[in-house]
Structure 1
């Protein structure tokens, strides 16, 4: 029997003042694909967690995981959102 879980998404991005070489490389490549007018490309991480019911507030659990493991607070920020179950 499956235990109920809540899916939580954590997106980790470099702080705006931190150089993003991956984003710059993508931005420089876009004109070669005839894609003009796209600027400010930033690359980050998208992490999905399944938090079991009873493990605590899913958003708070995910924030703790992000604080302690997923993000480097010196150079990165993160956002946490609980996904709505599909119907």
Structure 2
């Protein structure tokens, strides 16, 4: 079973990398970009065959290590 964790900054948290991306795109002539936010994707391969158990395990991984839940949010997608 595979899991994909998408981690992004919470709304209202300043995103300097996103601002740098906005500026670079503008400099390259992409003037239609109103805003950009950056994040990260973590792909995990799990031994579990139980989707509910896998989701719970990945949730714990996010809470304990993968995401800084003070400023980041995460979404978990399980692919069996």
TM-score (normalizing by structure 2):
0.88
Structure 2 counterpart of 1:10, from 5, 8, 19: 5
Alpha-carbon displacement from aligned partner over 1:20-69 (angstroms, at most 9, x marks no partner): 00000000111221112112211111001111026872111111111100
Which of structures 1 and 2 has the bigger CA Rg?
1
Q: CA RMSD in A?
A: 1.7
- Long gaps (5+) in structure 2: none
Deviation at 1:83, TM superposition (A): 2.5
Equivalent pairs counted in the alignment come to 79
Superposed counterparts of 1:49-60, under 5 Å = 49-53=44-48, 57-60=53-56
Matched, 1:40 2:35: yes
2:22 maps to 27
Displacement over 3 Å in runs of 4+: none
